[in-house]
Structure 1
Amino acid sequence: MSLDNARVVGNRVAYQRRMARLTQEQLAAAAGIHVGTLRKIERGARGAGDGVLEALASALGIDVLRLHGDADKATRRVHHELAAISDALATYDCPDDGPVRPVPELRKASAHTVEWRLSAQYLRIARQAPVLLAELFRGMHTARGAHLAVSTHLLVDVCRSADAVAYKHGAANLSARLIEIMRWATPHAEDPLLAATVAYVRAETFFMSRAYAAGLGVLESAIDSLPVATGPSAHAARGALHMRAAVMAGRAGRADVATEHMASAHRMADGVPEGIYRGTAFGPDSVRVHDVSLCVSLGGHHLLRALDISRHWEPPETLPAERRSGFFIELARAQLWAGKPDAAFASLLTARRIAPQHTREHRWVREDAGTLRRLKRSSAESLSGFAEWCHATG
């Protein structure tokens, strides 16, 4: 790390620490580093490696890109780790004889990846996933009975987290492989709600390939396969499939079908509090976010509803960062199409503040930032800087 970059990082660490109202001693203790090391980092007298930056970001409860002086380096690191994830998948059904930690430790490690996925901490997932996946493949290979079901759930959780990284970074083939492994593993759990979760994630492949009609069919089949909802988790599983099917139908141009699915999602959400169910955020707020997404998918006069929702509501901070940033990314597109470029740029900035990694890698952000730059050629330096930060297209 260069001296200039070390100073940038040090200033960011000090600023975020003050915003969190922590002393240097408190932050150092929370991050598990020596207070003298933290002082040198904040002064710019020494650099901070990836592990230290991640520990500091975790202690501060923020995305590591808020501290990183080189966002491109972070992205390159993710791509490097994607290759390691791909290598780990090669022996999913014939793993080596390496060690496997006790289930409580694996459960904790898996839960961390779920937490990082929901908060769009893709770099952290990418660094941990290769070793954890290999370990879980070994665990599944030797597990029997109830232990096999537990191992399957943990493996699906980690595969889903790794898939989020692959999908957001455009690694379509790796994303598809991870989803197929999830589908391979799911029957071992004999859990219809896990199957519903995998169907929800599988929809990504249809979004990516723009095969919306086929994706809608897969989601509707998954809904039909679910048993009658008898509790919050079951209601959430069915509701999540409906809200994703609504957006898929919207992309397919089937407004009537989309409206029906969204109405079903709202009914399911009325029966459960907002929360994380089997790794998926669901509840009234999540459905409202998808309402905006559906309006943007349908376009035309439906955009007015997206803008109307945003005038009276925005996602609360209790929603996962990835979902909140997604709301503002969708809203920016609606505002841009409505001829409100300044509002669109403000929404993109809000999305970046909430979840920098998610925003930076989002295809729509790059497209919209490129459009904004063309529309406002004499704009403020901040727009040009944002466009360069996300590698805007056009």
Structure 2
Amino acid sequence: MTTDDDAREGIGGHVRAARMLAGLTQRQLAERAHVSLSLVKQVEQGRVPASPAFVAAVARALGVAAPELMGQPYQPRTVDDQRVHAIIPALRRELAAYRLPPAVSAPPRPLNALAAAVAHASRLRHSATLDTLGAELPGLLAELRAAAHAHNGHDRERVYGLLAEAYAAAGQVCWKLGHSDLSSLCTDRIEWAAGQSNDPLAMAAGDFYRAGELIAAAEWTGALTFLEQARGRITGLLRRVDEAAVAMHGVLHLKSGLAAARAGDAPASDAHLAEAADAARHVTPGSDHYRLAFDADSVRIWSVGLAVERRDGTEAVKRAADFTPGRTTPRERAGHHWIDLARGFQLHGQRDKALHSLLLARQTSPQQTRYHPQVRETVVTLAEQERRRSDTIAGFARWAGIRV
């Protein structure tokens, strides 16, 4: 967890400390991470924000975990922070007990009731209501575990499909709170439960999350190969004009676009984005197959984020022009859009609009915004770039628990 000084420094301070501990010069780190020397210098000085691709590449070069460079998980600074982070120990216990028989004798609820409870958890996930969701998940996962032992045949497979969805919700809580080890464990659980469900699209959703792990670890080429194989496994379903399969095909292309963007391959990223856009034309607006919320608005949001991942703020701003997430867009996704756009405006040199986008993100999904590492990095570098820090920047920083 971070100290006050760490929080004030931002990612650049963590990079500098880790580099010096490894005995490397800035030039040596740049060469090992395959990034420019000027970028290393600017990030360490707090003059430009560290992108996720930069953090992943530098973490790999230094032999440290990316969350260590981001200072995650963040130290609770308020009673509300403490309440949110207090959900983690119970989740950790339940993730460890995933194959144990139920510890209580009370029978689980009927499958339809369990399905409704999992759907409610997924709605909380989409709203980024981390504290409420995190408090509900351990009990729900335990009950689903009991149901898996109580049923056989198709009903048992259905339970495992519900478990995969619930583990995905748990993974989002852990990831957003900066507990990357638990997020990775959730991915393992998703893959395991999806395999038990005998549902090829649930397994493809597991591939989506596994690719995210590869991308976060700077294994971009491996992620692209893995995702291509994942799309190949659902080709037969696409021939049946199955909307859920089309949506899965599209979202896997979006994830490939992210891997390509972080690898610095803009043409490949744009090609995957175009494939996803084509798939979205055949998907009902507001669809949420396998809780991946893929539709045309989702593709538009990803298009902005992919431009930011390439550090092309001008293109991000252009792609976001005249676009506002629709009412069917989950608040988590809409909030992420405003976070990405804030980074885009900052890279484009429009700092006032960057701050405005951060305020929209806070309004849309406050808990996600408060704990998002790129929000913190954007605020730290905005403050560094301003000779006289505005009251609005200072106020936002105080709200987010950031020392600037």
Q: State how many pairs are aligned.
A: 323
Aligned to 1:286: 298
Residue 273 of structure 2: aligned partner: 262
Give the aligned partner of residue 25 of structure 2.
none
For 1:121 and 1:305, locate their aligned partners in 2 and report how far apart those are by CA, in whole Å: 31
2:293 counterpart SS class? strand
CA contact (8 A) 1:366 1:393 kept: no
Match among 71, 89, 93 for residue 87 of structure 1: 93
The equivalent residue for 1:376 is 386
Equivalences for 1:1-394 in 2 at 5 Å? 72-98=78-104, 99=106, 100-228=108-236, 229=238, 230-274=241-285, 275-300=287-312, 303-392=313-402
CA contact (8 A) 1:367 1:393 kept: no
> Relative to 1, partners in 2 of residues 1:393 and 1:174: Cα closer, same or farther, differing over 3 Å?
farther
Partner-residue secondary structure (3-state), 2:87: helix
Aligned partners of 1:216, 1:392: CA distance in 2, in Å? 35
How far has the Cα of 1:271 moved from its partner? Answer: 0.9
- Residue 393 of structure 1 deviates from its aligned partner by 6.6
Q: Give the partner amino acid of 1:203.
A: A
Q: Quick one: structure 1 residues 199 and 359, their matched pair in 2 at CA, closer, same or farther if it must change by over 3 Å?
A: same
Q: TM-score, normalised by structure 1?
A: 0.78
Separation in 2 of the partners of 1:201 and 1:101? 28
CA distance in 2, matches of 1:71, 1:358: 16
2:288 is paired with a residue whose SS is strand
Contact 1:89 1:134 in 2 (8 A): no
Measured in 2, the distance between the counterparts of 1:97 and 1:299 equals: 50
Q: TM-score of the superposition, structure 2-length normalised?
A: 0.76
CA distance in structure 2 between the aligned counterparts of 1:329 and 1:207, rounded to whole angstroms: 19
| Compared CA separation, residues 73 and 151, structure 1 to 2 (3 A) | same
Shift of 1:138: 1.7
2:300 maps to a residue whose letter is: R
Distance 1:81 1:258, change over 3 A: same
Shift of 1:376: 2.3
Instruction: Assess if the C-alpha contact under 8 Å between 1:176 and 1:205 holds in 2.
Output: yes
Superposition deviation, residue 377 in structure 1: 4.5
Q: Which runs of 5 or more residues in structure 2 are unaligned? A: 1-75
CA-to-aligned-CA distance 1:343-371 (integer Å, 9 cap, x gap)? 10000000110000111111100000111
Percent of residue pairs identical: 32
User: Contact (CA 8 Å) 1:329, 1:364: kept in 2 or not?
Assistant: yes
Higher relative contact order (CA 8 A, sep 6+): 2
**Cα RMSD for the two superposed structures:** 1.7
- Displacement of 1:382 in angstroms is 2.3
The C-alpha deviation readout for 1:168-221, integer Å capped at 9, x for no partner, is 111011111111011111122111111111111223323432332222222222
Deviations 1:194-252, CA, capped at 9 Å, x for gaps: 11111112233234323322222222221111133122111101101111111121011
